[in-house]
Amino acid sequence: MNPLPRALFEATDIAPALPQGCGVLVRAGTAGDARVKGSFVIVDGAVEAETLRRAIGGGAAGIALSGWRTGADLQRLATLLSVAEAEEGREDGGTGILAITDGILPAPLSPQGLAGKSRRLAALIWDQGLLKQTLGANRVLTQTGEWTTAFAAARSAALLAAAAAGIPAYDSLPDVTGAALVTACERSRDDGFFGGLAAHAAQIKSIRTAWEGD
Structure confidence at residue 72 (pLDDT) = 87
State the Cα–Cα distance between residues 200 and 212, nearest whole angstrom: 19
Q: What average pLDDT does range 161-185 have in this prediction?
A: 94
SS percent in the chain: helix, strand, coil, step 5: 40, 20, 45
> Is the pLDDT confidence value at 112 over 60?
yes
State the Cα–Cα distance between residues 103 and 79, nearest whole angstrom: 24
Quick check: helix, strand or coil at residue 57? Answer: helix
Pairing, β 7-10 against β 96-101: unpaired
Percent of the chain with pLDDT over 70: 95
Question: If 0-12 CB within 10 Å is exposed, 13-18 middle and 19+ buried, where does residue 87 land?
Answer: middle
Nearest to 164 by CA among 94, 118, 110, 98: 110
Instruction: Give tens-digit pLDDT for 134-158.
Output: 999 999 999 888 999 999 999 999 9
Structure confidence at residue 96 (pLDDT) = 94
- String of DSSP letters for 88-146: TTPPTT-SEEEEEE-S----TTSTTSSTTS-TTEEEEEE-HHHHHHHHT-S-SB-TTSP
Give the pTM.
0.93
Instruction: Give tens-digit pLDDT for 1-25.
Output: 778 999 999 987 666 667 778 999 9
**Banded pLDDT at 115 (limits 50, 70, 90):** confident
> Is the pLDDT confidence value at 31 over 60?
no
> Is the pLDDT confidence value at 210 over 70?
yes
Residues 49, 105, 102, 205: is their CA dihedral positive or negative? negative
Question: If 0-12 CB within 10 Å is exposed, 13-18 middle and 19+ buried, where does residue 160 land?
Answer: middle
Q: What average pLDDT does range 176-181 have in this prediction?
A: 94
Structure confidence at residue 76 (pLDDT) = 93
